[in-house]
Amino acid sequence: MLVSRQWIVMPVRYFGKKCLRITSQFGTDYCTMVAQPIEGTQIASSIQDDLRRQVTELRSRNPSFVPKLAIVQVGDREDSNVYIRMKLKAAEGIGMRAEHVRLSRDITELELLSEITKLNESPAVHGIIVQMPLDSEHSIDSHKITDAVSADKDVDGLNTINEGRTAVGDLSGFIPCTPAGCVELIKTTGVPIVGKTAVVVGRSRIVGTPVSELLKWENATVTTCHSKTKNLSDITKTADILVVAIGRPELVRGSWIKPGAVVIDCGINPISDPTKKSGQRLVGDVAYAEAVEVASHVTPVPGGVGPMTVAMLMKNTVLAARRQLERLSAQTWPLRPLRLSPVSPPPSDIVIARSQSPKDISELAQEIGLYPKEVSQYGRTKAKISLSVLDRLKDQRSGKYIVVAGITPTPLGEGKSTTLLGLVQALCAHRGRNAFACMRQPSQGPTFGVKGGAAGGGYSQVIPMEEFNLHLTGDIHAVTAANNLLAAQMDARIFHELTQKDGPLYDRLVPKIKGTRKFSPIQLRRLKKLGIDKTDPDSLTAEERSRFARLDIDPNRVMWNRVVDLNDRYLRKITIGQSPTEKGFTRETSFDISVASEIMAILALGNDVEDIKIRLASMVVAYDKKGNPVTADDLGVTGALLVLLKDAFEPTLMQSLEGTPVLVHTGPFANIAHGCSSILADKIAMKLARENGYVATEAGFGSDIGMEKFFDIKCRASGDKPHCAVIVATVRALKMHGGGPAVTAGAPLHDVYVQENLELLSKGLCNLGKHISNGNKFRVPVVIAINKHGNDTEAEHNLIKSFALQNGAFRAVICDHWAKGGAGAIDLADAVIDACDAKSNFQFLYPLNLPIRDKIKRIATEMYGAGEIEYTDEVQKKIDVFTELGYDKLPICMAKTSNSLTGDPAIKGAPVGFTLKINNIFVSVGAGFVVPMVGEISKMPGLPTRPSIYDIDLNTQTGEIDGLF
């Protein structure tokens, strides 16, 4: 018999959600859930709105900064294309750039890894994803590919480093997108995760495993199930939170679900559906129609987890971009200094250098904000830095600019390089400021001669000092090769013009190749210079061909010498062309030391590669028989010079003993050229140091030579304005200027230099006063660094400090950096910080429109204290010729002894009213200055009777260099 039933239906809340309680007359109680869909599309849209605001905020901080996502696709699967289009659209919608990197199906694993490396190294790319599956004809390990993506750009969160972080609860990396989206969806339901029982069906490294870890770190009790799990439905029925990512259509039925559970369905599976136009429809891993009858919240498919995956990908990319921008805009680097353990008394420089273990140069590069693509390592301790850094940081405000010079030195040197390094170690390692030292590359001439290297000394050095003082990265050798190629081309051209008639000479210069001939680009430039508006070699008249082919160089007016980076006195004058093959066309010439080459000065003064090219092309190497200048471009060699110098354009990154950054680049001599490291190195350093950082660079010798040229030549060429000048002084040098006995390298110091002698010191203070006055004439604060030596006394130091302050110094401090490293230069660092914060009204010593003689007089009277200028008749004639040629608008680069303010190295102190004799003058058109010669200035030093060569050896057992300092 059938018994009719009466039902009582009333709404209640279960697990916080609406449901219907149905009670029959027999007392049976049913609860039918009305599950709430978790609308991933709406939630993702809200997240993307927030990301759009974040991108706008990032760009307001740096208008040129745009977050960028690179999506790598192998092959052309349509399902992958659908997903990629979604990601590209989402990126565009929030204001990001997205690059679709399409790679063909025939790409190999090695080639794919190479493409990923390029993206890893690109500063413009902040996030990288590799679309799976890889549609390749070749076998490719997808795990190796995802691991190849840099952990800092792995916005998919699939790199093992990021996965490992998630596993141990370190959520500072990138969380895989789908798992992150799942947790976000659960949180939007309002159901607390803490203390809940969570079951995850699926253990893939993309979804199942990471979502289990995330739920665990949200304090749920998590069970992970998989295809081998027994009694799966019994386990899923225990779940307050159920995440299904098993990849099987509608595997989880309504009966598997605990009433009121939150269900996250990560599956997306096509199944047959004749009612659809495509014949298919998409379903999840959960039977949705059944789940909504039991669960409190369920994600639909599609429209649930999928949109959240894309949103989390965008979120990770914006996070990656934000982290990069924060690294770029951080006030200080995350630099980890190296600890010093000074020994007293300090051992030799080489022993100190070898006692320190330098950082891997890639680590230092990363600390100061460089990207791998911008760093070309030469071993573990030095690296070339790409000029592309300047493009990347073009909107970055530059740091403070400091020049370090000295008083008139003794032949031993007063520790200018050592002070530079001590200052930067103090600023960076002890005061926590971003700080660079920019130094010249030392020549091998002094290294094997008598002066020694230029790596600093004691506990303020560049390391490894052997590499610094020897070949380094080969820049000087590149200059040598380029210089000598130009010399070889010039002499060959003279020979060929002397031995050939116009017709054959022209035909050889513009030969037929496969029946046609054409001018090279550099030859077209020569035609333009000659005023010949033709591009067809066969169309030139005989007269035009002769003008084009003949440079007609006057062998007696050749200005270009060959060079070698060694001291070799026998090359000061040589005769070339003595072989019978040269047919008697000999001429006298000479060698210079490599660092005296005009090419070295051009590398130091170029603002970019194009500027360097123009300067190289403009170098005047000789004059023709009519008195017209002949340039490197006329000889057709400009492009070849650029090729030889290509790697030398880039500065070399090294480090100090305390692990602070040093940029080494170029090495023009200060008594012959302008004596400063490169503009490019300084500019890169000032950008990397950032607005509140410091860049200290060295000028050769005293303020009268190196500092004046730094201000009037280098700063004029670069447009950079210095904030402070540091002048290094020693008790020893000032006593010499007070009338002390001669100081000779290799000889013991006289007693007056090792005993207190205030009277002698007082007489020599005039030299310090002159150098302070020189700095003040450029209207920059002048800080005096008194480089402490072991025999100095407190009274001597106090006398110098008092005099300096009374004579216009901003500050005068005692420095003990040689013995203590940066800790011994903290007072100097503080003084420099204060000086850079003080007002600087930098000005040049002279305007360029002054005539050559007036500019020379301004330098001689203001910087040296001269009264009159005396010129030889030959110099007077040359000045007139230079003026006619327009060279009078160039700055002046005085070639003068460094051992005296006068032209006589024997005269010490600070004499005034003397006559300065100019006995020669030449022009370096490419470098961009006129060089008056004061006295006999040799461009090729010689070796002494006992050079350092005697002490230098290679330990064949250890491979270490012995006897080098």
Catalytic residue among 135, 154, 156, 792: 156
**Catalytic: 131?**
yes
Token pair in block for residue 382? 């030095």
State the amino acid at position 53 in one-letter form: R
For the beta carbon of residue 231, count every other beta carbon within 10 angstroms: 9
- Rounded Cα distance, 716 and 907, in Å: 31
For the beta carbon of residue 432, count every other beta carbon within 10 angstroms: 13
**Catalytic: 331?**
no
- Rounded Cα distance, 840 and 772, in Å: 15
Side-chain-side CA neighbours of 828 within 13 Å: the count stands at 33
Helix (H) or strand (E) run with residue 589 in it: strand 587-589
CA distances from 598 to 477, 560, 604, 611, 875 (A): 14, 9, 10, 15, 20
Strand-pairing partners, residue 575, are 588
Per the listing, tokens 């090495």 go with 667
Q: Are 283 and 299 in contact (CB under 8 A)?
A: no
Catalytic residue among 87, 258, 373, 416: 87
Residue 29: closest CA among 16, 14, 40: 14
CA 489 from chain center: how many Å?
35
Residue length of the chain: 965
Q: Are 290 and 29 in contact (CB under 8 A)?
A: no
Token pair in block for residue 377? 């390592």
- Rounded Cα distance, 890 and 48, in Å: 58
Q: Are 619 and 605 in contact (CB under 8 A)?
A: no
Tell me 805's DSSP state.
Answer: H
Q: Are 489 and 481 in contact (CB under 8 A)?
A: no
Residue 330: closest CA among 385, 396, 401, 425: 396
Kindly give the residue spans of alpha helices, DSSP state H, lying in 440-518: 444-448, 465-469, 475-499, 502-509
- Torsion region of 732: left, alpha or beta (phi above 0 gives left; psi -120 to 50 gives alpha): alpha
Torsion of CA 752, 758, 763, 769, to 10 degrees: 120
Residue 312: closest CA among 648, 55, 47: 47
Cβ within 8 Å of residue 434, ≥6 positions away: 331, 332, 333, 335, 368, 399, 428, 688, 689, 690, 692, 693, 694
Catalytic residue among 48, 54, 73, 131: 131
Quote the strand ranges of 602-752, DSSP E. Answer: 620-624, 629-631, 652-656, 661-664, 694-702, 724-729
CA 371 from chain center: how many Å?
8
Kindly give the residue spans of alpha helices, DSSP state H, lying in 531-675: 542-549, 598-605, 609-618, 638-645
Token pair in block for residue 64? 């040129």
Q: Are 4 and 263 in contact (CB under 8 A)?
A: no
Residue 914: closest CA among 863, 879, 847, 876: 863
Pairing, β 241-244 against β 197-201: parallel
Q: Rg for the chain (alpha carbons), in Å?
A: 37
Residue 372: closest CA among 381, 358, 385: 385
Quote the strand ranges of 730-837, DSSP E. Answer: 782-787, 811-815
Active site residues: 87, 131, 156
